[in-house]
Structure 1
Amino acid sequence: MKNQLFLAALAFILYSCSSDSSDNEDQVITINPVPSETYFPPLTSDDWETLAITDLDWNIAAEEPLYDFLEERGTDAFIILKDGRIVIEKYFGDFTQNDNHVWNSAGKTLTAMTVGIAQEEGFLNINNSSMDYLGNGWSSLTTEQEENITVWNHLTMTTGLEYDVDDVFCTDPECLLFRNESGEFWFYHNAPYTLLDKIITGATGTDFKNYSYAKIRDKIGMQGVWLSVGFNTIYFSNARSMARFGILNLNNGVWDGETILGDTAFLTDMKNTSQDMNEAYGYLYWLNGKGSYRVPGAEIELSGKLIPNAPNDLYAGLGKNDQKLYVIPSEKLVIVRLGDDAGETLLGPSSFDNELWGLLNTLID
């Protein structure tokens, strides 16, 4: 009798559940969890995992206005990665996935990481005089003045070299004059940065370009080349290669289990305020969320955040004509924008950053 009662009760429960599910089909939820671990695209393939905007519950209505804005502002390529996976990959005009584009000063971030690798491998020390790797007489300074300029000064735009010169890109000794004691003033001066190429070459005994390829590019599946343009050495690659470098940054110098840069102290210093004259500048990286900032070409300090609309923890490579590599650890996002000048011919940050992030907030929030 007990068994019969049990079976009857069980049949009633099953029947009730079946009825509820058919009467309330709109309440049935299929759960497809979005993967949260970092994804690393294959080294030798164009395959790349993707996520849909709807997978992330982003505002799909904001997608087309974003594309319209990007196209109006001369964008060639735009990518958003979430945890390394492509959410948006958009090309404009006749620009394609395989086309190469100049990084301009966004490539300074590649140089900074290359310096960190050279230090980790014991070839240089950023606290040493750059004279140790450039030799004597690399500038028009006195020997004592040259000795006081360290590799760290080149990384932080604090060499004290004269920036009010005819050609701010010139790295010939006659262009490199004394203005301030090293470490006393911040100014975005391209020539001292460019000398890092020679510092790395002198320290490692390997041409800077080849050393960078071997230590970063080839290990994470990037393509592209450093090209000499006048006094400058500028990186060119497709948009996905810039995105790969963004993933490497997001994952703190490790690519799919292989450590590319393991010096955590250098990595931390690289992506945080490096000196007390420009809070928004690390080792050649731009930093958001600080109380003040300075911009290329200006001597004054401005109050507020570099990009008010962007997350506070954003750090970035920013290049002339609005080449952008944004990394946002809190959101696990990497964003790439390559293209023409979006309205202001500036060497790094511009009003385009804040306008773009206004639209991105509408999309992502």
Structure 2
Amino acid sequence: MKRLRLLSIFILLFAVLSCTSENDAQEEQEPENDSTYFPPLNSDIWETKSISDLNWNESQLQPLLDYLEEKNSKSFMILHEGKIVVEHYFDGHTNTSPWYWASAGKTLTTAITGIAEEEGLINIDAKVSDYIGVGWTSSPLDKENLIYCRNLLTMTSGLDDGLGDDISSSNLQYLADAGDRWAYHNVHIKLQDAVAAASNQSWSNYFNSKLKDRIGMTGVWIQNDNFNVYWSTTRSMARFGLLNYANGKWLNEQIITEAFFDESINTSQNLNAAYGFMWWLNGKSTFRLPQSQLQFNGSLIPNAPSDLYAALGKNDQKIYIAPSEKLVVIRMGNAADNETFALSNFDNQLWLRINALIN
């Protein structure tokens, strides 16, 4: 009898433990309880929120859209906690029309560099020539060897930025020691070459498998004047913005490590406080701009939230991320006014109108 009782207790205890383990396993597979919404992969389904649900000032939506149309926009989106609140297209553009990211796509290279480092393929504190060989610049070898992958991420290569967009070795000329000068330059493309060499596959294939396909983006890299430019739909740009709003995470998958991501969106060197790893940073006391060695006092975009970080591209391609407002904002199109490399007065005027809507 005693034996039977002990056997029954053992069976019951085993059953309880098994159920607990099974429940724990199920809980581990379920998405974390987070208010951020992620649209499904390979689908046009994307949940929305209404302006009235958010208690925004609906009367300010049309003036915002009118301003965007007046300023040569092709598309505009606002996500709140990942859900679409505003999505509008202009000038015959649609949700399936591709458009170029220009230098806003630099942050795609940032993300892939972080992924490749996590996989042990590259080290951002190693020389660029460790991956693509010596002679990739026309600098003296001792000066070329000063250029690390980190310098390409932070725009501190010391190479001459006044020679145009050509990134052939003959056009990458020494101007200052790496780390001594901040200058906006397309030499970051050499990081793509480093990743391709280290992964033993093309840049596009590595990009597609490690980032694009994992968050449901569409788009292609197109060669233009010796360097790659990314083209995609506005929603694909918004997906990438959402990944970065969520600190490099998509659902429960940490695609960009938290440590690398955090480093990316903080001041990366002591020359331009408003620059991370190819992300522009608002709310700093000083900033520098492309094609200039001047330092300006004040915040990069005074009308925008101080915690905003942004991917900014030529002719006003924009990804704005404002964690305090739970927003991702996308703008694609032609130059709002004059042709610009990154920041323009359009940023500040646009945020004046976004604030009128959301406050």
Judge same fold: TM > 0.5, yes or no: yes
Query: 1:48, 1:163 → 2: CA distance?
Result: 41
Q: Deviations over 1:251-294 (max 9, x none)?
A: 111111122112x2211110010001101100011010000111
Q: How many residues align?
A: 327
Query: 1:343, 1:171 → 2: CA distance?
Result: 28
Kindly, what percent of the aligned residue pairs are identical?
46
Q: CA offset at residue 164 of structure 1?
A: 2.5
Alignment of 1:100-139 (within 5 A): 100-139=98-137
Corresponding residue of 1:44: 42
Alignment of 1:72-83 (within 5 A): 72-83=70-81
Corresponding residue of 1:28: none
The one-letter code matched in structure 2 to 1:221 is: G
| Aligned counterpart in structure 2 of residue 180 of structure 1, from 173, 176, 195 | 176
Further displaced range: 318-327 or 169-178: 169-178
* Moved segments of 4+, more than 3 Å: none
**Retained in 1: the 8 A contact 2:161–2:291?**
no
Query: 2:134, 2:64 → 1: CA distance?
Result: 52
**Retained in 1: the 8 A contact 2:112–2:210?**
yes
Alignment of 1:334-345 (within 5 A): 334-345=328-339
Alignment of 1:26-45 (within 5 A): 37-45=35-43
| Aligned counterpart in structure 2 of residue 202 of structure 1, from 197, 205, 210 | 197
Query: 2:46, 2:214 → 1: CA distance?
Result: 17
| Aligned counterpart in structure 2 of residue 212 of structure 1, from 179, 195, 207 | 207
SS at match of 1:281: coil
**Retained in 2: the 8 A contact 1:36–1:83?**
no
Q: CA offset at residue 36 of structure 1?
A: 7.2
TM-score, length-normalised on structure 1? 0.88
Q: CA offset at residue 185 of structure 1?
A: 0.7
Further displaced range: 335-344 or 35-44: 35-44
Alignment of 1:1-365 (within 5 A): 37-165=35-163, 168-190=164-186, 192-262=187-257, 264-365=258-359
SS at match of 2:184: coil
**Structure 1 runs not aligned, ≥5 long:** 1-34
- Greater Rg by CA: 1
SS at match of 2:53: helix
Query: 2:72, 2:162 → 1: CA distance?
Result: 31
**Structure 2 runs not aligned, ≥5 long:** 1-32
The one-letter code matched in structure 1 to 2:185 is: H
**How well do the aligned residues superpose, as a CA RMSD in angstroms?**
1.1
Query: 2:156, 2:42 → 1: CA distance?
Result: 40
SS at match of 1:197: helix
Query: 1:341, 1:232 → 2: CA distance?
Result: 21
Q: CA offset at residue 135 of structure 1?
A: 0.3
SS at match of 2:321: strand
Query: 1:318, 1:106 → 2: CA distance?
Result: 5
